[in-house]
């Protein structure tokens, strides 16, 4: 009998350890997210957060707007005419259509998306580049998400403890182009027809055009995972979400609204200024305390982010 008890002890210890670990993880989940979430999202739903309609949110969120270009949908001409003014595009709608047709000969004509389901919650981390990520130690929490969206020149090497090292989607435009891992989606944020041509050429023969700053001729990325944000979606974000404030949305705000369209739960990191009110990137040295947000309505975007957090549509991790 004593011999049997000795054999059972390791099993009991393992069970106790698992129980303690489960309690700890549940506790930490509520602790790390500074606003506990307990919304009822309907029977059978595995997700905590809810995109159900309320007056403020319903006036902005339009699920029918497609985030990405697809051969299945034609860009409305009014959206093209609005989009072409962003950076003085002179090309015609016909030139745009021909360029998109050539693009879909290189990259998939339909975006690679995880479809919603009643038994799986698509979790998403939108990781901005704010200096408030320094010392945050959010890395493991970010890497735990199904979808991790980064943007522009955001990097992970050397900053893993604060920003993680997983990237499933990287949003960029030609002037912020960078090489990606083979399992990362390149998400193009286009401002002009040349941007569409750039991603086509940069992934094949090489791009030879010029822009307002140097552009990489070739980049490393998986052509089968390329996705292009639709000009109609950019217009929707600018007019519906930002109420036409600023010239156009920032990459970060585009990523946030995009995440609301493709994920069930959205956690946001690295947005806004640091505790002293400075706007800068975590991977750069702060050289000027007068930096602001350029053509983007940064303060207004930040207020919308906070409103989404208060309404529990997203969870915002401030970093300080």
Annotated binding site: 87, 129, 152, 212, 248, 252, 272, 281, 296
Question: What tokens appear for 284 in the block?
Answer: 């750069």
And the tokens for 27? 């506790």
Task: Please answer whether residues 134 and 162 qualify as being in contact, where contact means their C-beta atoms are separated by less than 8 angstroms.
Answer: yes
CB-based contact 318:272 (threshold 8 Å): yes
Q: Where are the beta strands (DSSP E) in 84-205?
A: 123-127, 147-151, 169-172, 185-188
| Separation between Cα atoms, residue 243 and residue 245, nearest integer Å | 6
* Alpha carbons 151 and 56: distance in angstroms, whole number: 27
The answer to whether residues 165 and 306 touch, using CB atoms and an 8 Å cutoff, is no
The b-or-e profile of 14-46 (16+ CB within 10 A means b, else e) is eeeeeeeeeeeeeeeeeeeeeeeeeeebeeebe
Strands 265-269 and 123-127: parallel
Whether the CB-CB separation of 124 and 266 falls below 8 Å is answered with: yes
User: 225: number of CA atoms within 13 Å, CB side?
Assistant: 16
Reduce the DSSP state of residue 287 to 3 states and report it: coil
Nearest to 280 by CA among 127, 125, 126, 133: 133
Q: What DSSP character marks residue 277?
A: S
73 in Cβ contact with 233 (< 8 Å): no
Give burial (CB, 10 Å; 0-12/13-18/19+) of 276.
Answer: exposed
Catalytic residues: 248, 296
Binding residues for substrate: 87, 129, 152, 212, 248, 252, 272, 281, 296
């Amino acid at each position: 009998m004593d011999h049997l008890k000795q054999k059972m002890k390791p099993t009991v210890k393992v069970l106790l350890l698992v129980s303690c670990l489960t309690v700890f993880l549940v506790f930490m989940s509520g602790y790390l997210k500074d606003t506990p979430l307990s919304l009822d999202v309907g029977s059978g739903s595995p997700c905590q957060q809810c995109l159900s309609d309320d007056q403020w949110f319903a006036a902005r969120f339009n699920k029918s707007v497609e985030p990405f270009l697809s051969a299945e949908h034609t860009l409305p001409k009014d959206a093209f005419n609005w989009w072409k003014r962003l950076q003085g595009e002179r090309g015609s709608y016909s030139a745009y259509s021909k360029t998109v047709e050539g693009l879909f000969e290189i990259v998939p004509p339909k975006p690679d998306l995880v479809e919603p389901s009643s038994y799986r919650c698509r979790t998403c981390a939108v990781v901005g580049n704010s200096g408030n990520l320094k010392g945050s130690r959010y890395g493991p929490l970010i890497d735990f998400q199904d979808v991790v969206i980064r943007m522009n020149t955001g990097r992970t090497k050397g900053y893993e403890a604060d920003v993680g090292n997983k990237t499933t989607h990287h949003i960029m435009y030609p002037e912020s182009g960078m090489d990606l891992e083979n399992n990362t989606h390149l998400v193009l944020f286009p401002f002009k027809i040349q941007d569409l041509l750039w991603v086509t050429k940069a992934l094949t023969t090489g791009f030879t055009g010029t822009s307002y700053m140097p552009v990489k001729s070739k980049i490393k990325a998986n052509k089968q995972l390329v996705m292009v944000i639709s000009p109609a979606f950019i217009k929707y974000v600018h007019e519906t979400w930002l109420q036409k404030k600023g010239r156009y949305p920032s990459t970060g705000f585009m990523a946030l609204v995009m995440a609301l369209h493709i994920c069930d739960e959205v956690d946001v990191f690295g947005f806004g200024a640091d505790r002293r009110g400075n706007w800068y990137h975590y991977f750069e040295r702060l050289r000027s305390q007068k930096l602001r947000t350029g053509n983007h309505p940064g303060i207004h975007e930040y207020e919308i982010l906070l409103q989404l957090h208060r309404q529990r549509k997203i969870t915002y991790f401030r970093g300080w």
